[in-house]
Amino acid sequence: MFFGNSLPFNPEQDIPSLAGKVILVTGANIGLGKQCVLEYARHQPSLIWLAARTLDKAQTAADEIRQQLEVKNTPTIKPLAMDLSSLSSVTTAARTVVAESSRLDILMLNAGIMAAPPGLTSDGYELQFGTNYIGHALFTKLLLPILEKTAATIPDADVRIVSLSSHGHVYAPKEGVLFDTLRTDAESLGAYGRYGQSKLAIILWTRQMARKYPQFTLASIHPGVVRTNLMNNATGSPWVIRLLGMVANKVVTPVDQGVKNQLWASVARDVKSGEYYEPVGIGGATDAEGRGRCAGCEGVGMDGEGAAGV
C-alpha cells in the first residue's frame, strides 16, 4: 500500500524531549518494537522497559541498542520478560512494572503474531486473538493504576497508549468479532480471518478505552507493509509464502521508516484519542466493522473485559 497523503514525521527532529518520562514497548527485541526503543532512547527518557518473550531476548536487544546509541548519557533500558500468550506471564510482568516504576507515560503495545497456524494459548484462547488482543488488554488493565497516577499527578502529563492493529482488520469476519470462536482454534476462519479478527478487536478496544479514560490519549495504528519477521510463522501454501517474502524484500518499507506511524501516534499533538491511523497520521481509514457498525462488534471489552473474559 502507498500512502501519498502521509504527514511528514522525522523521529530525530519531531520526537520532543522525553526527559523524565517512562516508556514501555512490547515485542521490543526485534523489528518495529526494537526500532521504537532506539528512537525513544535518543531523546533521553528516564527509563525504557523493553519487553520480550524471554528475559534473554530482551537483554540481548537492550545491549544491541546501547551499542547503536550515539548519545553520551544512555537512558536506562530495562529488560522485561512477558509472553503475551500466557496470562500468568502478563500478570507477572505488569506487577514488576508497577513495583519498580513510579510513572508510565507511553505504553506501546507493539508485539503480535500474524497468520499463525490454528492453535490455542496456554489459557485456552484462539492463539492470534489471545496473543495480539487479550494479552495486551490484560496488561493495560493491570497497568491502569500507574497510568492513572501519572496522568493525575505529573504536571503537564501526556499519557499515551498506542496499539498496533493492521489494515488486515478488513479480513475479519464480516459480522465482526465472532465470540463463539474465541475459545476454539477457529480453524474455519483461516489464518488471515483469525488475524483480522484480532486486529479488529484492537481497533474497537482502543475506541472503547478512549471513551472511558479521557485523561489518556489512545490510538490504534497500521504501520504499513514493513520489512519485519512477522510472516516467519505464517501458514499457507509454502510457495506463496516464499513468493511474498521475495516480493516484500523489494517493495516494502524498511523498519526505520515503517516505525514512523506508531512513533507519531505516541508523541504528536494532533492525535485524536480513539482513532485508527494509517501511515503516517491518516485517520478515518477503517471500514464499517472498524467503526463498530457490525453486530459482532459490541462487547469487545474495556480494560480487557468482555470478549477477553479477563
Per annotation, catalytic residue among 78, 141, 199, 260: 199
Alpha carbons 203 and 170: distance in angstroms, whole number: 11
Residue carrying C-alpha cell 462488534? 297
Alpha carbons 192 and 116: distance in angstroms, whole number: 8
CB-CB contact of 201 with 129 (8 Å): yes
Residue carrying C-alpha cell 465482526? 176
Per annotation, catalytic residue among 125, 171, 195, 276: 195
User: In this structure, what C-alpha cell is assigned to residue 290?
Assistant: 472498524
57 catalytic, yes or no?
Answer: no
SS3 (DSSP) at 76:
strand
Q: Tell me the C-alpha to C-alpha distance, in Å, between residue 201 and each of 56, 123, 162, 208, 241.
A: 30, 18, 14, 10, 26
Q: Report the alpha-carbon angle 200-229-119, nearest 5.
A: 55
192 catalytic, yes or no?
Answer: no
Residue carrying C-alpha cell 490484560? 138
Burial grade of 302 (CB within 10 A; 0-12, 13-18, 19 or more): middle
Checking DSSP bridges between strand 275-278 and strand 217-221, what pairing results, if any? parallel
Helix (H) or strand (E) segment spanning residue 241: helix 238-251
Give the catalytic positions in this structure.
195, 199
